[in-house]
């Protein structure tokens, strides 16, 4: 049969509006959000929108080929502060809500980000990147020409490295600047530097009475060797700092209760290294006592859903109810994320959970209602109001024209049994213009992490492969979040073991239960950990006729020293560091088994990937090519580990086209 709607294309993600960061305005009558899109210059731009909950249309408040984000209303609702790169680097700007042009508030040389108002509206606290000897009183924003000259000068200087954490995939090579907390007196327009330690500080909240700020940092001498993140309070009058935690874990998304007597936060003590589930903690400000609300739960707090179009931040930590009797938060469970409520005696209630992805929320105590950001496999995003009576009211109609025009495949949820009896969840997409009596080629997609989750959210790459005529299977093998602590921990020290057999069991189950799949035309692809697993699969079985490995790991011995996380991730995931037992790390390395590879393999890698550096792809390519295997290597200039999600649009399109080309050629 013929579809009324057309098939999805690689370029179609450039037509999408992606919503994020819903925020009720004071009084709860309206809310703001950020919409990110790709403009006619093929660049990302983000704008602030405002909408009354009683109306169906929103108003755009910012314009131009710029990125605006983090809008925060003053307590009286008359002003909104936000960050914008309209002056070439992110700075803070202010809008009057009754109209007028935005006013630039900061002119810091390295920018200013993440503004938050004090509860009385007199101050704004934000982050600024500073050197130890910088004076905030004489900050001057560089012109475009001055910035280009500074960049060129740096390119001609050697990089002196004396720290273990000297680079990251997000920032590239680090300098000596640190993220410090700055207070802006709004009326007098002067600045006060609140923190100055040689550490990155992350603002969390300000107390209702305005006397204390809450921030996280690692202020220990051995911070360069640790992944600890402690919580601290600072008295704004005396600048006295009080440490709330004991350097026993990582604490984040912290906030004061409405009375200021308690603090709630997420965190964990690395009991299962990087696979540890978050806990929900409550701190008593007066006594310093800490209690754990989530001890009896076995689910991941927060949003761990993986997608490739979620541009913009929406993640929420625990949010207090007005009466301080309960907290609201998102959690990740069985391929979906939902909104939950918990009382202080640990009574858990699901406020909203369906077969979809709640990517953000905002709570208004006055109306006791929520704004939910929701994505589904066939709808990238929309906002809804959730009222007291559990009634869900859609507020936006994002991407309506696109959705009317383009066919998207509705996933079928399946559950199969692994070799050791564990239940594994997955989803199957039928191809465009599907006919039951035809045979179709098949692609297995493997997510990265490995401690993340596929699920009920919009995923352009998966839909594209279905549009190109492939049956697409994506699963959550052991190691994935959403199925409890034992499950997410189960792949550690066993890469290529149970996780591999889970995926093979998924293939066996699918072929047995879906007669329209051509078992002679199977493909496999994945990125990061999914790239490692793709490499492992093609070096341990020849059942696949084509494979695409993306930003992958091929050699754990070299990964230890070249990745921005290798020095701790290797021990986290394999239970040992390089010098503990290099021979054992070699056993886990797909490169060791390169002679076994018979599957045509396409290797995709970003030149500036510091998470899984490009030498991982190079080693695999040279080895396979030297062995005269069928292999091709595509290197993406200027791209880091996030190429598939937030890379340059033209590079993202090229990547997708290469994936489709390879599968079309061999399947």
Q: What is the mean pLDDT of the chain?
A: 96
Tokens 């603002």 sit at which residue? 203
Q: Is the pLDDT of residue 644 over 70?
A: yes
State pLDDT tens for residues 602-640. Answer: 999 999 999 999 999 999 999 999 999 999 999 999 999
State pLDDT tens for residues 187-244. Answer: 999 999 999 999 999 999 999 999 999 999 999 999 999 999 999 999 999 999 999 9
DSSP sequence for 63-117: -SSSBEEEEEE-TTSSEEEEEE-TTSS-EEEEEETTS---EE----TT-EEEEEE
Tokens 């009596």 sit at which residue? 437
Q: Is the peptide bond before 38 cis (omega within 30 degrees of 0)?
A: no
State pLDDT tens for residues 385-440. Answer: 999 777 899 999 999 999 999 999 999 999 999 999 999 999 999 999 999 999 99
Give the residue extent of every domain in the chain: 403-554+589-666
Q: What is the dihedral of CA 378, 380, 384, 390, to 10 degrees?
A: 40
412 and 12 Cβ atoms separated by less than 8 Å = no
Range 186-223 burial, b when 16+ CB lie within 10 A, else e: beeeebeebbeeeebbbbbbbbbebebbbbbbbbeeeb
Q: What is the dihedral of CA 78, 84, 90, 91, to 10 degrees?
A: -30
Question: Using CA atoms, how far apart are residues 164 and 176, in angstroms rounded to an integer?
Answer: 13
Q: Is the pLDDT of residue 249 over 90?
A: yes
pLDDT tier at 3 (50, 70, 90 boundaries)? low
Catalytic residue status for 447: no
State pLDDT tens for residues 130-150. Answer: 999 999 988 999 888 888 888
| Secondary structure letter of residue 136 according to DSSP | G
- Output the CA torsion sign for 386, 392, 397, 401: positive
State pLDDT tens for residues 35-68. Answer: 999 999 999 999 999 999 999 899 999 999 999 9
State pLDDT tens for residues 68-103. Answer: 999 999 999 999 999 999 988 999 999 999 888 999
Question: Using CA atoms, how far apart are residues 13 and 401, in angstroms rounded to an integer?
Answer: 13
pLDDT of residue 1: 39
| Residues 6 or more apart whose Cβ sits within 8 Å of residue 376 | 355, 356, 357, 456, 457, 458
Angle at 216 between CA 215 and CA 217, to 5 degrees: 130
Lookup: tokens for 497: 């073991």
Coil, helix or strand at residue 320: strand
**Catalytic site residue from 216, 480, 528, 558:** 528
Q: How many CA atoms lie within 13 A of 310 on its CB side?
A: 21
- Output the CA torsion sign for 309, 312, 315, 316: negative
pLDDT tier at 298 (50, 70, 90 boundaries)? very high
Coil, helix or strand at residue 520: strand
Lookup: tokens for 315: 């993640």
pLDDT of residue 398: 97
Could you please state the CATH topology (level 3) that the domain comprising 403-554+589-666 is classified under: Rossmann fold (3.40.50)
Catalytic residue status for 554: no
φ, ψ of residue 660 in degrees (nearest 5): -65, -40
**Catalytic site residue from 334, 451, 641, 658:** 641
384 and 372 Cβ atoms separated by less than 8 Å = yes
Coil, helix or strand at residue 256: strand
Write out 330-347 in H/E/C secondary structure.
EEEECCEEEEEEEECCCC
300 and 489 Cβ atoms separated by less than 8 Å = no
Question: Using CA atoms, how far apart are residues 639 and 647, in angstroms rounded to an integer?
Answer: 6
> Residue 633 CA to chain centroid, in angstroms?
27
| Residues 6 or more apart whose Cβ sits within 8 Å of residue 421 | none
Q: Extract the runs of DSSP E, i.e. beta strands, from 514-584.
A: 517-527, 546-550
- Intra-chain end-to-end CA distance of the chain, in Å: 23
């Amino acid at each position: 049969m013929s579809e009324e709607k057309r098939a999805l294309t690689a370029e179609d993600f450039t037509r999408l509006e992606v919503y994020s960061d819903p925020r009720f305005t004071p009084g709860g009558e309206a809310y703001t959000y950020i919409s990110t899109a790709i403009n006619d210059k093929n660049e990302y731009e983000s704008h602030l929108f405002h909408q009354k909950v009683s109306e169906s249309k929103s108003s755009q408040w910012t314009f131009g080929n710029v990125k605006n984000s983090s809008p925060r209303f003053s307590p009286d609702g008359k002003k909104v502060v936000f960050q914008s790169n309209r002056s070439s680097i992110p700075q803070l700007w202010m809008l009057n809500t009754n109209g007028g042009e935005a006013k630039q508030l900061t002119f810091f040389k390295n920018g200013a980000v993440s503004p938050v108002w004090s509860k009385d509206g007199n101050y704004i606290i934000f982050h600024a990147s500073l050197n130890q000897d910088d004076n905030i009183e004489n900050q001057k924003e560089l012109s475009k020409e001055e910035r280009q000259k500074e960049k060129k000068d740096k390119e001609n200087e050697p990089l002196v490295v004396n720290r273990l954490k000297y680079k990251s995939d997000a920032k590239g090579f680090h300098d000596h600047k640190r993220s410090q907390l700055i207070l802006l007196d709004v009326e007098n327009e002067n600045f006060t530097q609140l923190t100055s330690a040689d550490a990155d500080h992350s603002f969390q909240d300000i107390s209702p009475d305005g006397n204390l700020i809450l921030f996280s940092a690692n202020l220990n001498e051995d911070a360069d060797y640790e992944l600890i993140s402690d919580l601290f309070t600072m008295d704004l009058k005396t600048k006295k700092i009080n440490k709330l935690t004991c350097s026993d874990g990582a604490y984040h998304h912290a906030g004061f209760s409405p009375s200021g007597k308690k603090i709630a936060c997420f965190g964990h003590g690395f009991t299962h290294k990087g696979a540890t589930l978050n806990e929900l903690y409550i701190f008593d400000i007066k006594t310093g006592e800490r209690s754990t609300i989530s001890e009896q739960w076995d689910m991941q707090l927060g949003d761990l859903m993986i997608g490739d179009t979620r541009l913009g931040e929406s993640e929420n930590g625990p949010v207090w109810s007005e009466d301080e009797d309960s907290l609201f938060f998102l959690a990740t469970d069985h391929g979906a994320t939902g909104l939950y409520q918990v009382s202080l005696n640990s009574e858990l209630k699901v406020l909203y959970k369906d077969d979809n992805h709640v990517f953000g929320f905002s709570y208004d105590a006055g109306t006791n209602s929520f704004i939910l950001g929701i994505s589904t496999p066939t709808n990238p995003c929309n906002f809804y109001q959730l009222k007291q009576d559990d009634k869900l009211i859609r507020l936006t109609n994002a991407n309506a024209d696109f959705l009317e025009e383009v066919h998207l495949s509705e996933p079928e949820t399946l559950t199969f049994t692994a070799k050791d009896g564990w239940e594994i969840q997955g989803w199957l997409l039928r191809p465009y213009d599907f006919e039951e009596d035809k045979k179709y080629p098949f692609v297995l997609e493997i997510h990265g992490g490995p401690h993340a989750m596929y699920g009920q959210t919009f995923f352009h790459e998966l839909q594209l492969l279905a549009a190109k005529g492939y049956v697409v299977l994506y699963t959550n093998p052991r190691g994935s979040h959403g199925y409890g602590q034992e499950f997410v921990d189960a792949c550690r020290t066993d890469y290529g073991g149970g996780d591999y057999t889970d995926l093979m069991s998924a293939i066996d189950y699918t072929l047995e239960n879906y007669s329209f799949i051509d078992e002679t035309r199977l493909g496999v692809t994945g990125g990061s950990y999914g790239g490692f697993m793709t490499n492992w699969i093609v070096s341990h079985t020849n059942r696949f006729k084509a494979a695409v490995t993306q930003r992958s790991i091929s050699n754990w011995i070299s990964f230890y020293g070249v990745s921005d996380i290798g020095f701790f991730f290797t021990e986290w995931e394999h239970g040992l560091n390089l010098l503990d037992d290099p021979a054992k790390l070699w056993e886990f390395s797909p490169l060791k088994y390169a002679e076994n590879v018979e599957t045509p393999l396409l290797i995709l890698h970003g030149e500036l990937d510091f998470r899984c550096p490009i030498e991982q792809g190079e080693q695999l390519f040279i080895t396979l090519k030297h062995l005269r295997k069928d292999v091709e290597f595509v290197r993406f200039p200027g791209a880091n580990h996030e190429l598939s999600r937030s890379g340059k649009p033209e590079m993202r399109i090229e990547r997708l086209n290469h994936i489709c080309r390879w599968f079309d050629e061999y399947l």
